[in-house]
Chain A
C-alpha cells in the first residue's frame, strides 16, 4: 500500500511567524499532491495542489514545495494567523489513479 507520512505530528508557532509543515511520500510514480486543512469538527478543506512537473506553487499566503529527488513535500504558511490552527494533511494520488492516499496529519497550533 501507499505510505504518506509527516515528520512532526504537532507544530506550534507564534502568530505572525511562518509555518512549515512537512510530508514524505513513498510512491515515486505519484504525479499529483494536495494539501488539506481540517478544522475541528469540519471536513478537510482544499488548500493547494501541485503536479510532479512543478517544484513550487504559490497561493494566497501558502506555498507548496515538491522535492521529487527525496520524495518530500512541504507546505509553507506565511504570517501564520490564529485561524490557521488546524490539522493539515498531505495526500498523493499513488500511481495516477483518481484515488488519494492521505497522511495522518500535523496539528498546527498558533500561539497569539
Chain B
C-alpha cells in the first residue's frame, strides 16, 4: 500500500513564525502535491512538484514556498505565518506518467495565533 506521511498531525504557531510542514512518501512517486482544505472551499492546490528540485505553483501559492531536495520528500514552508493560513494541510503523491490517482497523507491541522 502507498504510504504518505506528514510530520505533524496538529501544529500551533504564532503570527510571523516560519513554519515547515514535511511530507514523505514511500512509493517512489514522481509527483507530489500540497493542498489546503477549508470548510466550504474544498481542496485547493498550493504547489506541486513533478521531479526533484522542480516546483510549480498551484492555485493559491501566495505566502507559501516548497522544497523538493529528495524524491520522497516534499516540504511546504510558510515564510511568515498569518492567521489566514490556519487550515488543514494535505500532502499527496502520484506516479507519472498518467498517474492521476493521488494518494493522500493524514493531514496537518495548523492553527496560527
A residues contacting B by CB (< 8 A) are 1, 32, 34, 36, 41-46, 49, 89, 93, 98-100, 102-105
Contact = CB atoms under 8 A, between A and B. Distances in A.
B99 A103 contact: no
Contacts of A105: 42
Contacts of A41: 106-107
Interface residues of B, number: 27
Nearest to A97: B100
A91 B59 CA distance: 15
B90 interface: yes
A32 B90 CA distance: 21
Contact of A98 (B90, B96, B107): B96
A40 B58 CA distance: 25
A46 B41 contact: no
Given A43-B90, A99-B45, 5 more contacts: A34-B102, A43-B106, A44-B43, A89-B42, A98-B31
A104 B99 contact: no
A98 B100 contact: yes
Contact of B104 (A32, A43, A98): A43
Contacts of A93: 100
Nearest to A45: B104
29 contacts: A32-B100, A34-B100, A34-B101, A41-B107, A42-B106, A42-B107, A43-B4, A43-B90, A43-B92, A43-B105, A43-B107, A44-B43, A44-B90, A45-B104, A49-B100, A49-B101, A93-B100, A98-B31, A98-B48, A98-B94, A98-B96, A98-B97, A99-B45, A99-B48, A100-B100, A100-B102, A102-B42, A104-B41, A105-B42
